[in-house]
Amino acid sequence: MRRSAIRTLCYLIITCGILAGLPSLVSAQVGIRGLIQDANGNGIPGARVTAESTQTSATRNAISDRSGSYALVGLEIGQWHLIIDADGFRQAQGYAGVTGFRESTTVDVTLELNILDPPPPTVGILAGVRSSDLLSTLNDADQMVARGDYNGALEQYRSILDQTPNLTSIYLHIGYAFLAKQEPDNAIAAYQKALEADPTNPEILAAISTVRGRPSLPLRGLPNP
């Protein structure tokens, strides 16, 4: 009788231990999943998803894959505050609950385009490059030329070409920087690079003629000294 009671007690202790650990075991397998897309239904890769527990302030992070899918697993049971960011889109926020009952919570998000800073184009000479970043770098380089930091400016111009090798108009800026640096041969070499892509461009032809001492057309569009 005593042995039977001990066995029963041990069974109850083990059973209670398993049941007590069940919620954490389940929550380790589930979480919040979903798809991040634009207004046209296209998945947005590289979107940043941050989840913060409203109970404990614990945070989890995820990045959407090439299809726009994301997964936050191992979340504690309870309410979570979600923040979704993606370059070129307006931030989205919301709340989602994790129940811990075997299935993950599905939260699909549609992000609105940020018209002031749109995402990089996927085709063309600026494919994959944010226009705001390019203009910022170009402006910084032009300011360096104005301050006489020609080497710094040339480094910035070349960094733009590394990202957008077909944006040959940058060679006009490079040529001007070399000209301001009193290196006319390098200036002409830069202008010739631009001319290869656009042989009849009047600005490039005017720049070359000016360097060679035969002014012809005005230098429209070139940075001011």
Single-letter code of the amino acid located at 193:
K
Residue 216 has pLDDT above 50, yes or no: no
From 2-11, 89-98, 156-165, the region with the lowest mean pLDDT: 2-11
Looking at residues 58-68, what average pLDDT do you find?
94
- Do the domain assignments include residue 224? no
From 14-28, 67-81, 177-191, the region with the lowest mean pLDDT: 14-28
Residue 64 has pLDDT above 90, yes or no: yes
Give the pLDDT confidence score for residue 114 in this predicted structure. Answer: 84
- 141 and 79 in a common domain: no
- Do the domain assignments include residue 30? yes
Secondary structure string (H, E, C) spanning the chain: CHHHHHHHHHHHHHHHHHHHHHHHHHHCCCEEEEEEECCCCCECCCCEEEEEECCCCCEEEEECCCCCEEEEECCCCEEEEEEEECCCECCEEEEEEECCCCCCEECCEECCECCCCCCCCCCCCCCCCCHHHHHHHHHHHHHHHHHCCHHHHHHHHHHHHHHCCCCCCHHHHHHHHHHHCCCHHHHHHHHHHHHHHCCCCHHHHHHHHHHCCCCCCCCCCCCCC
Give the pLDDT confidence score for residue 103 in this predicted structure. Answer: 78
- Do the domain assignments include residue 72? yes
Residue 159 has pLDDT above 80, yes or no: yes
- Do the domain assignments include residue 220? no
Give the pLDDT confidence score for residue 200 in this predicted structure. Answer: 87
Residue 27 has pLDDT above 50, yes or no: no
- 105 and 29 in a common domain: yes
Q: What is the pLDDT of residues 7-18, one digit of tens each?
A: 433 333 333 443
Distance CA 204, CA 71 (A): 52
What domain range includes position 61? 25-110
- 54 and 106 in a common domain: yes
Burial of 223 (0-12, 13-18, 19+ CB in 10 A): middle
- Do the domain assignments include residue 17? no
Share of the chain above pLDDT 70, in %: 76
Residue 138 has pLDDT above 70, yes or no: yes
- Do the domain assignments include residue 120? no
Split into its structural domains, the chain has a count of 2
**pTM score over 0.75:** no
Query: What are the backbone angles phi and psi of residue 160, rounded to the nearest 5°?
Result: -65, -45
